Structure 1
Amino acid sequence: MPGFAAHSWSACGYSVQKVYEWLLGSQQRVTWQPFVWNRLSLPKHNFLAWLFGKKRCLTQDRLIKFGVITDGIYYLCGAQQETQAHLFFDCCYSQRCAHLLQHWLGVYWQGDCVYWVIKWRCKSLCKKMIVMAAISGLLYCIWEARNKCKANMVMKRPEAVIEHVQAAIRWRLQRSDFVQQKDSTIAWIRDKRLS
């Protein structure tokens, strides 16, 4: 066993963590880790955010590259080939959804919202986690709208997408042990309405 002998784990003591780190090798830390593993996000939102961060969403351009499909037109706007960048916030549909989410949250960003929220310095950790969960939910809901449009040829209104995000955030806040109910941030998000 070259790994066991080479690292002399028998002399310095065996540790599962040391073996795990040895098996992984040197890994580069990613900047989007706090966004993906936010405790206020739903697990299905976390999973899609993880795929997004790794640039592994199965968009039309990737399916063409794999030889699965031949047509790569994006179903929600029909203007361009579907890529991850186009799907998430280059498209007029997703831009409209992002604008509605910004209006609802009262938090505005320019450019890539995922990297913006990671670098955003907010006084309230709870508020930052809510915004991260909302953006993560938005990614998922846009992906879901894209899939429903592709399968059923029915396009969900951007307002309906944001209502779905709002419901998911409020549901998660009601069931979260992380957030104290008397926190003013909870009142901030609970009282907000999409107008």
Structure 2
Amino acid sequence: MDTGSDSAVWSVDGSKCKKFSSQQIFNAIRRTSPQKSWAPLVWHKASIPRHSNTTWLFILNRNPTFDRLISWNIDIDPACLLCGDGEESRNHLFFECSFSLVVWRSLLHRFHLSSVPSRWADILLWLPNAHPDSMVRLAILQVWQAAIYELWKERNRRVHDGLTLPPIRIMRYISSSLRDKCSALLSLSHPLGPRLAQFWFDPP
């Protein structure tokens, strides 16, 4: 006759665990899929959450650009509010639009790049190898995400508030947000802080 006492044993994927772990359980039951090729462009250690989230939604083409609103049978003028020369879509806004192209190229001028793509698909292919220096590539990713965020914000400002800012103001907002991110990394003694400071605090 067995006189031993019963005891609970957690087993995850056939392996016994010394203690319960909600993370292990979640990882065992959740549906997984291969990492998207664009994931490292969006989620990285120097990203700003609001910039990453906006970029992610644009990669999925989920933001309500005029072309998408029209596809939902909403009767609106499709003209781009930033340049007035084309019809608004994700691909046009970033960066086929003449207004946004000025912002994009001006910001990247500090990296002394000879050729910078302006079409959405070309940019996604270019970013992973935009520069041989990994830290420069990281700074370029910061610029790309910040430009997407601030240009979309400017577009919405024009839609909802009727206000219009010039490209130079957008670039100042972008530079300010990246300096703030760098300052936060420096205050946390994060190793990326001093390395990114050369881009956002020193003259280009």
Range with greater deviation from structure 2 (37-46 or 134-143): 37-46
Deviations 1:59-82 (A, max 9, x none): 001111123443222111222221
Query: Residue 32 of structure 1 contacts residue 115 of structure 1 at CA under 8 Å; is this kept in 2?
Result: no
Which structure has more relative contact order (CA 8 Å, sep 6+)? It is 1
Which of 63, 66, 70 aligns to 1:64? It is 70
Q: Tell me the residue number matched to 1:19.
A: 29
Instruction: Please report the TM-score for the alignment, with normalisation by the length of structure 2.
Output: 0.77
Q: Per the alignment, do residues 182 and 59 of structure 1 end up closer, same or farther by CA in structure 2, a change over 3 Å counting?
A: closer
Shift of 1:170: 0.6
Q: Which position in structure 1 is the counterpart of 2:142?
A: 133
Given the alignment, which residue of 36, 46, 58 partners 1:40?
46
- 1:163 is matched with 172
| Aligned 1:1-195 pairs, distance under 5 A | 12-13=14-15, 15-16=24-25, 17-20=27-30, 23-24=31-32, 27-107=33-113, 108-111=115-118, 112-123=122-133, 125-176=134-185, 177=188, 178-180=190-192, 182-183=194-195, 185-192=196-203
Structure ranking higher in helix proportion: 1
Aligned-partner residue type, residue 202 of structure 2:
D
2:14 partner letter? C
Please, which runs of 5 or more residues in structure 1 have no aligned partner?
1-8
Q: Distance in 1 between matches of 2:12 and 2:99?
A: 59
8 A Cα contact 1:173 1:179, kept in partner: no
Q: Which runs of 5+ in 2 are unaligned?
A: 1-10, 17-23
Sort the Cα spacing of 1:55 and 1:148 in 2 relative to 1 into closer, same or farther, 3 A. same
* Contact persistence 1:105–1:189 (CA under 8 A): no
* Structure 2 SS opposite 1:175: helix
RMSD: 2.4
CA distance in 1, matches of 2:159, 2:47: 26
Greater CA radius of gyration, 1 or 2? 2
For 1:110, the aligned partner's letter is P
Identity %: 21
TM-score, normalization by structure 1: 0.80
Partner Cα separation in structure 2 for residue 10 and residue 149 of structure 1: 53
Q: Distance in 2 between matches of 1:156 and 1:41?
A: 25
